[in-house]
A and B are shown apart, each in its own frame.
Chain A
Amino acid sequence: MNPSFEPKILAFLCNWCSYAGADLAGISRIQYPPNIRVIRTMCSGRVDPLFIVNALDEGFDGVYVGGCHIGDCHYQDGNLYTLKRFDALQKLMDLTGISRNRVHLKWASAAEAQIFADNITYVTQVIRDLGPFERDSRLLPLQAMKRTLTSQRYRWLVGIDRKITGDKNVYNEKTPVPLFEKVFSEALQGEYQKALVVECTKDNPLSVHEISGRTGLPPYTISCRLNELSQDGITGIGRVDGRTPKFISRAA
């Protein structure tokens, strides 16, 4: 690892706590590493996971999201949504092979300047230890992640989670958390795997083994995802070479 490597980190800070905490750190002259570039949002709940993936795709080595402590949100419970989404994002990253430690969600109040500075110091060190983010070798997972995060299925499930597991579902019951988690991880994994297949077959037809070579997914997994993609009218057989069908996607 290059010891002189300094990561570029994008930070999304909520206006009312983390951004204010960062200001207080300045007023208090508390020192922390110069690696972060800050984008102010009104609430951490404004941070779409897509922004985070986009930052990695644009060349950042890591992303920091700062919000108010749970219970302190200026918008009642905006940060609870952030928490759910962040959790989901990290699960998605686990599927991609991109370290989940490149992204961090930390709480700091407007009064916790020292905690903010400590967070930044810690996160910078973690990302520095990970080394530079090799974007160019991660293009396929990055595109697939974006596709996953924009899918209606993923976004709807993230959005409905708290209502149906915490309050009540359409049957006036609470959806059991294990059931929801199972459905959610199936959806996340399914959408991501489909996205990988679509991303690599959108330009030219590929066989299952070729898709497997590019995505690292086992052939049978690809075969199963092709069922769903075919049901949705996205992927079909483009041509057959000998006995090998090649699949092509009509990417939206």
Chain B
Amino acid sequence: MTLAEKRKLGSVLVVGAGVAGIQASLDMANSGFYVHLVDRSPSVGGIMAQLDKTFPTNDCAMCVISPFLVEVGRHLNIHVIPCSELERLDGEKGDFKATIVNHPRYIDTEKCTGCGQCRQVCPVVAINEFNCGLDLRKATYIPYPQAVPLAYAIDRNACIGCGMCEKVCLAGAVTYDDKTKITELEVGSVILAPGGEMYDPKEADSWSYSHPNVVTSLEFERILSASGPYRGHLMRPYDREEPEKIAWLQCVGSRDINRAKNSHCSSVCCMYAIKQTMIAKEHSAHELDTAIFYMDMRTYGKDFDKYYSRAKEERGVRFIRSRVHSIEPVENGNLRLRYVKESGESVEEIFNMVVLSVGFKPSSGVETIAKKLGLTLNEQHFFRTGDIRPVATSRDGVYVCGVSHGPKDIPQSVMEASAAASVATSDLSSARWSATRTPQLPPETDFSKMVPRIGVFVCNCGINIGGVADVPAIREYAKTLPHVVHVEDNLFTCSQDTQERMKQVIREKNINRVVVASCSPRTHEPLFQETIREAGLNKYLFEMANIRDQNTWVHKNNPDLATAKAKDLVRMAVAKAEYIEPLHQVKLDVKPAVLIVGGGVAGMEAALGAAEQGFQAYLVEKTDTLGGMAHQLRKTWQGEDIPAYLERLIKDVTNHSKIQIFLNTKPVHFTGTIGSFTTTLNDIHTGNPNGIIEHGAAILATGGREYRPEGYQYGNRPDVMTHLDLDQAMKDTPATVMNADTIVFIQCVGSRNSDRPYCSRVCCTHTLKNAIELKKIKPGMNIFVMYRDVRSYGFRESLYQEARALGVHFIRFDPENPPQMNIAENNILTITVTDHILQRPIVISPDLVVLAAAVLPNENKELFELFKVPVNAEGFLVEAHAKLRPVDFGSEGLFLAGLAHYPKSIDESIAQARAAVSRAVTIVSKDGIMVGGVVAAVNPDRCAVCCTCVRACPYGIPFIGNEGHAVIQQAECHGCGVCVSECPGKAITLQHFTDQQLIAKTRALFYQPAMNE
């Protein structure tokens, strides 16, 4: 083939199914690509599935991730390939051939129903990796109860081949003759997300880790978790006593080149330690003393500093700035910690338990993959990436996201995953929808005039239900219920053959409502709905009775009562089924265009990203130039040239045929719903309209600015400047800087105070970079950095090490006692600060003072009100979910990127912009958006325009329309039903959960059919 005819494939490969791999897969599958998702473990989920709660919202990790797991598992265009590894990659960008090794699992995932009988009889135990070795699992196991695919696996290393599991498996899923297989996949690009592992303290002979009461932070997550070995009851492992005092030791395996040989900061440990102290206190019935021993408290993310002060001030967590030098087991399972306070005083303290805040290291897969694919690693053995192309590896067409190229938290991983999804598919846009599958469905039968004819399928679930409750009795009972025309019981109602049979029975007996009495609708309703839809029924003509998870599994010792309860649940389901109605989703047109507000780096990257994906981009900028804040920056933290990049970016954006740029423009009118918005643009100076545009999604990248400090004589003297002033001076008049013999950097000017209780994230790195550069040019220069905590997170820690090695002086100060500036009569400037080691004030006479001024969001009150997007107390835009939806707004179809969201470095802004593109493309790539189903509907005749629904809606969706009644857009309603239960006039109905349907269920509980004996 010649260059011009190069194939572009519409399928992609994702390696690693942690939260990053999952997000990348969902984004790509939802925007027209077929995704192969490979993971070497038997199920998806990664480390996030092991966490108890997540900071800074203390949300339950499993509750937020499990809908994503289920979606990945059931997605028509995601092919989950567990127990597999990428062996080699041939070909080039756009047209790769990936060779995958499929390791034997010995249990057929298609047949396994996840019932768990095999686990119960397996006589062999092995370390339970999911609970970090705190307890044991069987050789036949499922990594965790919510695992996807919900199928067991045999651990061949532990298995002795006794054959017991096969004997009890009623689904016939055990396949001992399973062999290693090789599969080849043709894919257009590859995203690597193999993730990280936690540092293993066993690697160094410190910390008394062999003592049961010394646990790693991940082990402690499992101890706190309600699904962990202690069911969330806070007990220490040695003797299950509830601890009175717990110590956390930070930087175990991070920032440590002596014991751990890991120089990087792991970025997440400060926050998770704070979270663990708070959750531990919540779990403890008595007073719990918690102490965190740390070097620098690195709470640099959005709302992190507030979380830190809440822990310190409201929850009484003790923060002790000290490295503990010895942990010694003493009597009663306790541990004696010895440490030196900042004052130099030596302290001994006894704790009941010690948690080691272990850092990240790259997963063992990273090095293997790098070798096989010929990728470059960095000094810490993570994948190497740059700042300007933050998710690109050293091989074209191969991208990376998540912890495998640097320690980071969940939102950053998710953001990067979306970014990688967008960059990985931008060259493949010509192949969009070419490899995806669409379900072929028969037309729906119209039952509107017919009486209900209900079919009931009672599941035995192997022996999970039938082994406790009397399934034949439940089956016979169901026959006596009104409108029931068919009843049967199945060994496994979810098995492939039963599904086929169900379709056949529906057709033969003209069944128009289906009830399945089995497991949980949470996991299985979509499957059954799909089946009845294939039989021509509307998918809503379905109801489930949960007689396993909430009956036989929990009433094992009361079989008679379990049978009676199952009958009740079936009767209630049948009663609701009588009233359920088909619901039809409506297809709304999608405008294949994206509006981007803000012409800085984030906005331009977003516009370019959308255009590269083949969609029209409208880039709106209120000033007369593109580029924003980046014009004032010189280099990224890794030393890449920003002006050259910016020039190239502006050129690319300006020249792209799919990008229309509106300078001196602001949006003044905005209407519509997801997929179809209309925005009116006005000239900012004349007020004249310069365009009405239609677009399917919008990205707000309205940027931020540097705080102009008050105090420290800023603005009054040329020798006091901010970071940006310094950068400007270095560019324009370097001599004015280089003439200085002594420079003082003062950190946190305007940040981390009562006005702005947040960390500006970029300033420590900025100071370190400048200090290093100055020291390199003029080694004799005295540089003092006055700081509160040095927050050089991730690999930026190397800058801190370098600066110290070059002789930069770091002096810590307390917020109560900040550096004082004095101007003597002879105009000589001095800075006085109390040194925390010397414990006395020292006076420095600098030639130059550099203030690390805060990063502020640009003020755009009108604009944000126009788009109805929320801002927090500090004026930053608020995303839909702090963890898993970091670039989405709560309102569908709107996204955010860059400094408007929170202070961030340029690489992070680029990644977030590309992520916003990925999210927007999941909308604009479709020819229509299906809306409706379980949503609220207003009956205009009953609406009294009282606005109760407008106030009650958690998403602010209802409004009073021009016709004089409440309007709830189907496309926007999330279907919770709060407004329905609030509406004084009962004018609102939540479809599929109507009053009538829910009351019918209640009434059925006390209804006894006439034929019942």
B-binding residues in A (CB < 8 A) = 152-153, 156-157, 160, 164, 169-171, 173, 175, 179-180, 183, 186-187, 190, 207-209, 212, 219-220, 222-224, 226-228, 230-231, 233, 237, 240, 242-245, 247, 250
Can you list the 10 inter-chain pairs with the closest CB atoms, starting with the nearest?
Answer: A169-B161, A227-B135, A219-B239, A243-B242, A170-B176, A208-B239, A170-B163, A153-B123, A170-B161, A160-B162
**Of A164, A226, A228, which one neighbours B160 at CB under 8 angstroms?**
A164
Q: Do the beta carbons of A208 and B240 come within 8 Å of each other?
A: yes
Segment 184-219 of B: residues with Cβ below 8 Å from A: 212
Residues in A neighbouring B164, C-beta threshold 8 A = 156, 160
- The count of A-to-B residue pairs whose CB atoms sit within 8 angstroms is 94
B134 at the interface (CB under 8 A from A): yes
Residues in B neighbouring A179, C-beta threshold 8 A = 160
Q: How far is the CB of A192 from the nearest CB of chain B, in Å?
A: 14
Q: Do the beta carbons of A223 and B136 come within 8 Å of each other?
A: no
Q: Do the beta carbons of A183 and B124 come within 8 Å of each other?
A: yes
**Of B121, B238, B242, which one neighbours A245 at CB under 8 angstroms?**
B242
Q: Do the beta carbons of B162 and A156 come within 8 Å of each other?
A: yes
Residues in B neighbouring A160, C-beta threshold 8 A = 162-164
Q: How far is the CB of A206 from the nearest CB of chain B, in Å?
A: 11
Q: Do the beta carbons of B125 and A164 come within 8 Å of each other?
A: no
Q: How far is the CB of A53 from the nearest CB of chain B, in Å?
A: 21
Q: Tell me what chain A mostly uses at the interface: helix, strand, loop, or mixed.
A: helix
Residues in A neighbouring B238, C-beta threshold 8 A = 219-220, 223
Q: How far is the CB of A222 from the nearest CB of chain B, in Å?
A: 8
How many residues does chain B have at the interface if contact means C-beta atoms less than 8 Å apart? 32
B87 at the interface (CB under 8 A from A): no
Task: Sample 22 A-B pairs with CB under 8 A, ordered by A number.
Answer: A156-B123, A160-B164, A169-B161, A170-B163, A175-B160, A175-B162, A187-B124, A207-B239, A208-B239, A208-B240, A219-B238, A220-B237, A222-B239, A223-B237, A227-B135, A228-B136, A230-B229, A231-B135, A240-B242, A243-B242, A245-B242, A250-B557
Residues 110-142 of chain B: 1 if any A CB is under 8 Å from the residue's CB, otherwise 0?
Answer: 000000000001011100000000111000000
Q: Do the beta carbons of A243 and B244 come within 8 Å of each other?
A: yes
Segment 522-579 of B: residues with Cβ below 8 Å from A: 556-557
Q: How far is the CA of A220 from the CA of B135 in the complex (A)?
A: 12
B983 at the interface (CB under 8 A from A): no
Q: Do the beta carbons of B162 and A164 come within 8 Å of each other?
A: yes
Residues in A neighbouring B231, C-beta threshold 8 A = 230
Q: How far is the CA of A233 from the CA of B123 in the complex (A)?
A: 17
Q: How far is the CB of B94 from the nearest CB of chain A, in Å?
A: 42
Q: Do the beta carbons of A237 and B233 come within 8 Å of each other?
A: yes
B256 at the interface (CB under 8 A from A): no
Residues in A neighbouring B240, C-beta threshold 8 A = 207-208, 219, 223, 226, 245, 247
Once A220-B237, A223-B212 are accepted as A-B contacts, the answer to whether A244 and B162 lie under 8 Å apart by CB is no
Residues 228-246 of chain B: 1 if any A CB is under 8 Å from the residue's CB, otherwise 0?
Answer: 0101010101111111100
Residues in B neighbouring A242, C-beta threshold 8 A = 286
Q: How far is the CB of B164 from the nearest CB of chain A, in Å?
A: 6
B333 at the interface (CB under 8 A from A): yes
Q: How far is the CB of B332 from the nearest CB of chain A, in Å?
A: 9
Q: How far is the CB of B52 from the nearest CB of chain A, in Å?
A: 17
Q: How far is the CA of A160 from the CA of B162 in the complex (A)?
A: 7
Residues in A neighbouring B239, C-beta threshold 8 A = 207-209, 212, 219-220, 222-223
Q: Do the beta carbons of A227 and B134 come within 8 Å of each other?
A: yes
Once A220-B238, A230-B229, A245-B233 are accepted as A-B contacts, the answer to whether A157 and B125 lie under 8 Å apart by CB is no
B789 at the interface (CB under 8 A from A): no
Once A227-B229, A243-B241 are accepted as A-B contacts, the answer to whether A152 and B121 lie under 8 Å apart by CB is yes
Residues 623-652 of chain B: 1 if any A CB is under 8 Å from the residue's CB, otherwise 0?
Answer: 000000000000000000000000000000
B847 at the interface (CB under 8 A from A): no
Q: How far is the CA of A184 from the CA of B162 in the complex (A)?
A: 12
| Apart from the given pairs A169-B163, A187-B124, A243-B286, 18 other A-B contacts in the complex at a CB distance below 8 Å | A153-B123, A157-B162, A164-B162, A173-B161, A175-B160, A183-B124, A187-B125, A190-B125, A207-B239, A207-B241, A220-B237, A227-B135, A228-B135, A243-B241, A243-B244, A245-B240, A245-B241, A245-B242
